[in-house]
């Protein structure tokens, strides 16, 4: 009965208190979620090992005739393959080879967001009939990369098996691949995709799915997201091919050689050039140029600083907000104590025990806590992102707050009962 009276008389203050505290803990949840994401981003994309000088290696065969002659020469391609393999083995350098070549996939099960033209000026092409094979295909976003690229950008799996990099062999026509996180629900691990890369037919087997929001530095874009991409691994070495596949390997070799080289900031550009020149002299391939890419280190530094500064600012704001919330809750508790004063004094005068009054207060406090918890959990359920690992810590924080709130309300009641004749609490 006393609880019903309390709710009818003080529902505005009780609701306001629950909303203030519930929304505060929701903002704390958002901050914790952002902190978790920021730490993950800094550790993955901005780790000390990623703070390097980046150079782009490009071939200089810009003349179409010279390029065609080179690709038609088995000896020249073998030289290029040896150059790639030797460069990839240099301990002083890290060779990051990646390229976004769209891949036609037969009877593709995904939607327009995976289409190569999605978000591009050309627009979505959609499914079409391949005039050579007669099969319905769709050009999908795809990126090809070597193991060093995958490891350097610390790309991880949400599910599935790691790629068997050592055994990747294009000559077999069967290659394990990874799919971006948005592919989950479209394909399953173990599914096969019939695809065409550089006019060569492949069977791609889904080995796993990348973590959500996986990204890398690509073509001066700091966060090139891979959620909608089909990731095809490059072979570890370029060590020969069948003559019938020379057209395919002629394109593949150049795609793989045109990549990025990372070097310690302690190495000068001249020292990096000398390392590459050593490889060039030993293999006989010299049709290349090295371009410094200062944008990588500049963007690396700026983005890392922005993330860290924003995080510090948000923490400061959250601390100030927490102080304000504690002040508001204390004020509401005093207000509620004053509104309950006449009832509590009358009951005390009539001989009700301190335990009975405390029990009534505890029921009101329990109602407040349940209302606050409802606001918090409803907000969590409506949020687009989830961070289950954070909930246990926040529930513990809520429990600590609730205990302190109960102690404060009990203190106010005790002060009132000690001086029932005073007009203020």
Q: Tens of pLDDT along 128-158?
A: 999 988 899 999 999 999 999 999 999 999 9
The band of 265, judged by pLDDT with boundaries at 50, 70 and 90, is confident
Tell me the mean pLDDT in the region 223-244: 91
Question: Span 53-61, mean pLDDT?
Answer: 86
Residue 51 burial (C-beta neighbours within 10 Å; 0-12, 13-18, 19+): middle
Q: Is 213 left (phi over 0), alpha (psi -120 to 50) or beta?
A: left
Q: Give the pLDDT of residue 191.
A: 98
Backbone φ and ψ of 294, nearest 5°: -65, -20
> What percent helix, strand, coil does the chain show, rounded to 5?
55, 20, 25
φ, ψ at 203 (rounded to 5°): -110, 110
Strand segments (E) across 50-119 = 53-59, 93-96, 98-99, 103-106
Confidence at 111, pLDDT banded by 50, 70, 90 = very high
For residues 372 and 320, is the Cβ–Cβ distance under 8 A?
no
Q: Is the pLDDT of residue 73 over 50?
A: yes
- CA-nearest of 131, 155, 134, 160 to 143 is 155
- Model confidence band, residue 312 (pLDDT cutoffs 50, 70, 90): confident
Q: Is the pLDDT of residue 2 over 80?
A: no
Dihedral sign from CA coordinates of 220, 293, 94, 307? negative
**Separation of alpha carbons 371 and 362, rounded Å:** 14
Q: Determine the pLDDT at residue 115.
A: 97
User: Is residue 425's pLDDT more than 60?
Assistant: no
Residue 385 or residue 367, greater confidence: 367
CA–CA distance, 193 with 202 (Å, rounded to integer):
8
**Whether the model pTM is above 0.75:** no
pLDDT digits (tens, 9 = 90+) for 340-356: 888 877 778 888 888 88
For residue 293, count other CB atoms closer than 10 A to its CB. 18
Beta strand 128-129 with 142-145: parallel, antiparallel or unpaired? unpaired
Residue ranges covered by each domain of the chain: 2-44+303-418, 53-293
């Amino acid at each position: 009965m006393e609880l019903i009276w309390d709710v009818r008389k003080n529902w505005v203050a009780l609701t306001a208190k629950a909303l203030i505290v519930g929304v505060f803990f929701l903002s704390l949840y958002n901050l914790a979620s952002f902190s978790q994401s920021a730490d993950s981003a800094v550790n993955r994309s901005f780790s000390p090992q990623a703070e390097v000088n980046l150079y782009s290696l490009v071939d200089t065969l810009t003349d179409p005739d010279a390029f065609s002659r080179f690709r038609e020469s088995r000896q020249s391609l073998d030289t290029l393959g040896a150059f790639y393999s030797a460069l990839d083995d240099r301990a002083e350098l890290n060779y990051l080879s990646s390229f976004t070549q769209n891949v036609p996939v037969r009877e593709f099960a995904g939607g327009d967001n995976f289409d190569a033209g999605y978000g591009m000026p050309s627009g979505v092409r959609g499914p079409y009939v391949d005039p050579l094979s007669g099969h319905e295909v769709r050009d999908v976003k795809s990126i090809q990369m070597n193991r060093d690229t995958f490891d350097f950008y610390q790309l991880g799996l949400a599910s599935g098996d790691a790629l068997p990099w050592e055994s990747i062999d294009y000559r077999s026509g069967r290659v394990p691949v990874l799919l971006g996180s948005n592919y989950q629900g479209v394909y399953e691990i173990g599914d096969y995709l019939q695809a065409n890369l550089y006019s060569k037919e492949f069977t791609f087997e889904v080995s796993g799915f990348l973590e959500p929001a996986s990204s890398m530095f690509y073509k001066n874009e700091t966060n090139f997201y891979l959620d909608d991409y089909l990731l095809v691994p490059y072979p570890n070495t370029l060590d020969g091919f069948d003559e019938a596949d020379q057209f395919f390997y002629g394109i593949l070799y150049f795609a793989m050689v045109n990549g990025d080289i990372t070097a310690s900031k302690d190495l000068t550009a001249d020292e990096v050039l000398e390392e590459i020149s050593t490889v060039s002299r030993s293999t006989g391939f010299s049709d290349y140029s090295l371009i410094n890419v200062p944008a990588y280190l500049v963007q690396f530094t700026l983005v890392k600083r922005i993330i860290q500064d924003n995080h510090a600012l948000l923490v400061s704001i959250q601390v100030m907000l927490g102080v304000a919330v504690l002040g508001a809750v204390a004020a509401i508790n005093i207000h509620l104590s004053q509104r309950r004063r006449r009832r509590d004094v009358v009951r005390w005068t009539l001989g009700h025990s301190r335990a009975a009054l405390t029990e009534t207060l505890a029921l009101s406090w329990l109602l407040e806590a349940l209302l606050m918890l409802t606001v918090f959990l409803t907000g969590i359920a409506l949020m687009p992102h989830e961070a289950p690992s954070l909930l246990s810590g926040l529930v513990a924080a809520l429990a600590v707050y609730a205990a302190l709130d109960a102690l404060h309300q009990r203190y106010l009641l005790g002060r009132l009962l000690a001086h029932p004749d005073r007009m203020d609490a």
